[in-house]
Structure formats: structure tokens, C-alpha cells
A and B are shown apart, each in its own frame.
Chain A
Amino acid sequence: MSETLMILAPELILTATLLAVLLSDAARWRSFAYLLALSGTLCALLASALAPRGTVGDQLAIDAWAALARPAILLSAVLLLMAARSLHDDDDGPAWAALLLALALGALVTAASAHLLPLWLGLELMSLSGYALAGWRAGSRRSAEAGMKYVLFGGAASALSLYGMSHLYGLAGRLDFAGIGAMLAVDQPLPVTAALLIASVGLAYKLTLVPFHYYAPDVYQGAPPLAVASVGTLPKIAAIAVLVRALSSAVPESLVSPASVSGLLALLATASLLVAALTAVVARDAQRIIAYSAIAHAGSMVLALAARPHSSATAAAAFYLAAYVPATIGALLALALLAPTAGRTALVELAGSGQRRPWTGVALVVCLASLAGLPPLAGFLAKWGVLRAALEVGLGAPERSVLLWAAGALLLSTAISAWAYLLIIRAVFFQPAPAQQTTATPPLPPGVAAVLALCVAATLALGLWLSGFAVLLHSLHP
């Protein structure tokens, strides 16, 4: 019992913090909400570094991936809370902090789940807080529309996924990954496979994989930038972590054709990479371009998992996440600071904004260059790791040659989407600002500046620290 408490210490601390933040609203201590949330999340971060590994029943498992994902989720939550604290009024504090903590808690549960029921609950916890964050700006048409689209599409995807899970429960009799895997190892009846595919829609939705991506561009465009940074990063870490666990326990090695699972993942990755790149170049809104970038990057991460027999494939996915998360948070924060009117990030409205805040503009360029995969930034090494794993597996086995096509799609998508990132940079630095703009630029809030600097530093450091990949590989495959 006490060992279970030790294993789940981060989740329990975060839950207690969430309750305390909600109480701080009732007790009218609104100005303390962010401090409370920050200190609680830092405690949970410390606990996640010290907590032992182990399993809780057959429902949760803190394995190598969860042990990496938990600190990553909590660290991102700390950055997002710091940024929110200096961008928002104290009045908003309790609500925003509570929603963000609930999102992080959902991500922790999802990342650790080894059973479909906690997986669905974690996904729903992330979704429900994400919907509210997306529709945060009450009174703004775009934010309200983003929230509405998110909740309707998300609810339908989650209900579909749950229906698949209930069939799986009836047909396989089990909901834990290991039990499903043990059953599939003997035989793969078509209804079970179909139920498993339907059940995985919820995960694909959270990862914004084509064809479950259709909500992302609208939601990312209309939602407040900090909300996009939250729903675009924490659920991705959690979804990739649980996908790795599901693939390694529910899809056993003895499966008749493991290549078919890998082929399906490669197909999803190819579709995501190409669709995102081709639609990103016609987008004329910076946050919409970030949405297409999220779709394409999800494709790359899934491509890494498709090359899973390769020893470094899952480490490539982990490194990809480590490169993607700080660059995305940094880019969205920089956009929030550069946009002359809050919530408006159309390229026309961003014109010349780099002259108002040159250093923020430079940070934006670094983050976008990393997302585009330019050396010597983290994004380059991340793409290289995925590409190498996919090529080596694709060349090594003729039945896996679909990975070669997916690797080609990754290269093509990188080349095409670089144009979309260049469009943002051109608008910010190389287009004249509208003439009537004479209002003085307020000084940069120190909290946001610190978070932005941390994101840029992480992007540079991960790109220059060449042995980082090897360290990650060692911690996943000791």
C-alpha cells in the first residue's frame, strides 16, 4: 500500500494542489493561486524524479517511458504556469491554474496507463480541461468558436473510441494491454482487431494524426496562444508514452505479421506529414501554421514508432518530443508577445512586429528554425534520428519497404513546410508595420521572458549536445 503511494506520489501531489488552487478561489486568495500551483507542480516534479518504478494493479505502470514522460510533463506544466502567471490577471489565476493542473494530471494518468479504462479517463481529463482552455476568451468569437469545435469533435472521437473499448471488453474479456496482447498472441479474430482500431481513435485524435486532425487548424487558430501551447504539448508527450507501451505489450512480437502494424503506423505518418505540409503553405495565420506543424511532427513521431524493431526507434521518438515541446511553447509565447492585438495572429497583422520587440522576434526565429529542422538546432537532430531509424529498418527488410516511402514523405514534408515557417519570419521581420501604429510597446513581462529564454536555451542545447541522444537511449534500454 505504502509502495503504491510512493509510486503515485506525483499524481497525488498534483491532485492535492489542484484542490488547493480551487479552494484559493473560494477563499478569495486569488493572487496566491499561481504561486500555489507552481510550488505544487515543482513538488510533484521532484517527486517524479525520486519516485520508484513499479505497477499499480494491472491499471497503471511506471516503466522507463513513464519515468521519462512524468518529469517532462511536469516541467512543461511549470513553464506554462510561469508564462500564464506573468501574462494573465490575478483574477483569472485560480481558473486557469486549475485547468492547467487538470490537463497535466490527465497527461500523467494517460502516460502511466496500462489499461484501457485509465487511458480513457486520462484522455477525457486532458480533453475536458483543454476544451475550457481553448474557449477561454469569453466574448471573443474566434476563441468561442475554437472551443465549440474542439468539444464537439473531441466528444465524438472519444465516444467512438469508448464504443470500441466496450466491444473489446466483451470480445477479449480484458481491458489491460497485457491481457489483450496475450489474447492477440494466440489468434487475431477480425472483430477484436476492428474493436482495437476503433478504440485507438481517441489516441490518434489527441496526437492530431491524419485523418483525425481536422479540428486542429481551427482550434489552434482561434484559441489563446497559451492554451494552444498547453493542449499542443502535454497531451502529445502522454499519448506517445502510452502508445509505446501499448505497442510493446498489446501487440506481441509473436503476432503473425508484425509488419502490418508497422505498415499501418507508417501509412498514418505519411498521410499526416504530406497533408500537413501541403495545407500549411496556403495558411495565412501564424497559429494555424503551428497547427499544421503539430500534425506533421506527430507524423514524424509515429514514423519513429513504426520503425520500432530498430533499437534506437523509441529513443528517436523521445528525443523528437524533447525537441518539439520547447520549440512549440517558445514559438507560441513569442507570437503571443508579438501580436499587436491579443488573439490575432494573421500574417498581415503580424507585419513588422519584429521591429517592436526584436529579441522576441529572434527567439521566434530560433524556435521556428528548430521546428523546420535546421541544424544546429534540436529539431535537426530529432529529424535525423527518425530518418535514420526508418531508413535502416526499411532497407534491412523487404516487407517493411513502406518505411522507405514514409522516410521520403518526411524529407518532402520538411522541405515544403520550411516555406510556411519562412512566411511567418518574413511577416515579422521583412514587412513594413502599418503606419498608424504609434502606441508604445509595453516592457516584456519578466516571467514570460524567462520562459522564452529557457525554451530557446533548450532548443539550442539539445541541438549542440550531441551525446544527449545516447544518454536518452541508455535510459530507455538500460
Chain B
Amino acid sequence: MGPDHLGSYLAIAAALFTTGVLAVCTRRNAIGVLIGIELMLNAAALQFVAYGRFRAPLGDSIGQAAAVFVIVVAAAEAAVALALLFAVYRTLRDIDLERTRELAA
């Protein structure tokens, strides 16, 4: 199995996730928020693979399977989100979250 590098992988995943959360919370551009979401998803995928390699019992491949599923779903999500952002841009000529607000009580 080699040396247990789980800690380093978890640290990288945590850093990716934190960066993603910060991007989601602070970016005003919708594309920036979307990139943040992708970072969060990939942090989770990395963590699945790391746990699957170092912690799961032998023969358990759920961790790897989960990572593959996450990659596919992230691609689908990016496609849907970009299509919607494109629709917003075509009607409003803007994707700044502060300036595209019409819906309110």
C-alpha cells in the first residue's frame, strides 16, 4: 500500500473546498460562482478517491465509483448552468448577480 498520504490529500481537498466556498460567497459574477461550485465538487471527488485508496477495506471500490459519478454530474451541471447563464446574458446583457435582480416581494 505504501506510505499513508491520506492527510496530505485531505488537506488539498479542504483547501480546494474552502477556495470554492469563498468564491461562491464573494464573487458577484455568476461564472465565478460556478467555478467555485466546480471546485467544491472536485474537492469532494478527490476526497472520495483518497478515502477509497487509504481507508476503505480491500475490494471496496465505492470511493472510485463515486468520483467517476461526480465528474460526470459536474460536467452535466456545468452544461446546464452555462446554458442558463447564456440565456440570462442574452436577455439582460449582464451576468452580475447584483445587477440582475428583478424578482422580489
Give every chain A residue within 8 A of B65 (Cβ-Cβ). Answer: 117
Taking the complex as formed, is A288 at the interface, i.e. its CB lies under 8 A from any CB of chain B? yes
New contact pairs (8) apart from A117-B65, A284-B105, CB-CB < 8 Å? A131-B84, A132-B83, A145-B92, A148-B95, A152-B81, A175-B62, A279-B105, A288-B105
Using CB atoms, name the residue of chain B closest to A222.
B103
Q: For chain B, which range describes its interface: under 10, 10 to 19, 20 to 34, or 35 or more residues? A: 35 or more
Give every chain B residue within 8 A of A217 (Cβ-Cβ). Answer: 103, 105
Q: Mark B42-57, 1 if CB is under 8 A from A, else 0.
A: 0111011011100111
Using CB atoms, name the residue of chain B closest to A123.
B73
- For the residues of A in contact with B, the DSSP-based class is helix
Cβ contact within 8 Å between B80 and A128: yes
Give every chain B residue within 8 A of A127 (Cβ-Cβ). Answer: 77
A141 touching B102 in the complex, CB below 8 Å, given contacts A132-B80, A173-B56:
yes
Bound-complex Cα distance A284 to B103 (A): 11
Q: Which of B30, B52, B73, B87 has the most CB of A within 10 A?
A: B87
Cβ contact within 8 Å between B55 and A173: yes
Interface-located stretch among A158-166, A237-245, A368-376, A402-410: A158-166
> Measured between C-beta atoms, what is the minimum distance from A215 to chain B in Å?
11
Cβ contact within 8 Å between A151 and B66: no
Cβ contact within 8 Å between B51 and A170: yes
Cβ contact within 8 Å between B33 and A159: no
Taking the complex as formed, is A139 at the interface, i.e. its CB lies under 8 A from any CB of chain B? yes
Cβ contact within 8 Å between A163 and B88: no
Taking the complex as formed, is A218 at the interface, i.e. its CB lies under 8 A from any CB of chain B? yes
Bound-complex Cα distance A127 to B37 (A): 14
Q: Mark B75-100, 1 if CB is under 8 A from A, else 0.
A: 01100110111011011100101001
Cβ contact within 8 Å between A151 and B81: yes
A117 touching B105 in the complex, CB below 8 Å, given contacts A151-B84, A162-B44:
no
How many residues does chain A have at the interface if contact means C-beta atoms less than 8 Å apart? 46
Cβ contact within 8 Å between B47 and A167: yes
Taking the complex as formed, is A256 at the interface, i.e. its CB lies under 8 A from any CB of chain B? no
| A156 partner, pick from B40, B48, B103, beta carbons under 8 A | B40
Give every chain A residue within 8 A of B43 (Cβ-Cβ). Answer: 163
B-facing residues in A193-230 (Cβ within 8 Å):
217-218, 221-222
Using CB atoms, name the residue of chain A closest to B104.
A218
B-facing residues in A24-62 (Cβ within 8 Å):
none
Give every chain B residue within 8 A of A152 (Cβ-Cβ). Answer: 24, 30, 33-34, 37, 81, 97
Give every chain A residue within 8 A of B40 (Cβ-Cβ). Answer: 156, 159-160, 162-163
Taking the complex as formed, is A473 at the interface, i.e. its CB lies under 8 A from any CB of chain B? no
Taking the complex as formed, is A11 at the interface, i.e. its CB lies under 8 A from any CB of chain B? no
A144 touching B30 in the complex, CB below 8 Å, given contacts A128-B77, A165-B44, A166-B48:
no
Cβ contact within 8 Å between B69 and A139: no
Bound-complex Cα distance A222 to B91 (A): 14
Cβ contact within 8 Å between B73 and A124: yes
Cβ contact within 8 Å between B24 and A138: no
Give every chain B residue within 8 A of A279 (Cβ-Cβ). Answer: 105
Give every chain A residue within 8 A of B101 (Cβ-Cβ). Answer: 145
Bound-complex Cα distance A165 to B70 (A): 12
Cβ contact within 8 Å between A144 and B105: no
Give every chain A residue within 8 A of B20 (Cβ-Cβ). Answer: 159
Taking the complex as formed, is A142 at the interface, i.e. its CB lies under 8 A from any CB of chain B? yes
Cβ contact within 8 Å between B63 and A169: yes
Cβ contact within 8 Å between A138 and B87: yes
Bound-complex Cα distance A284 to B77 (A): 33
Bound-complex Cα distance A139 to B90 (A): 7
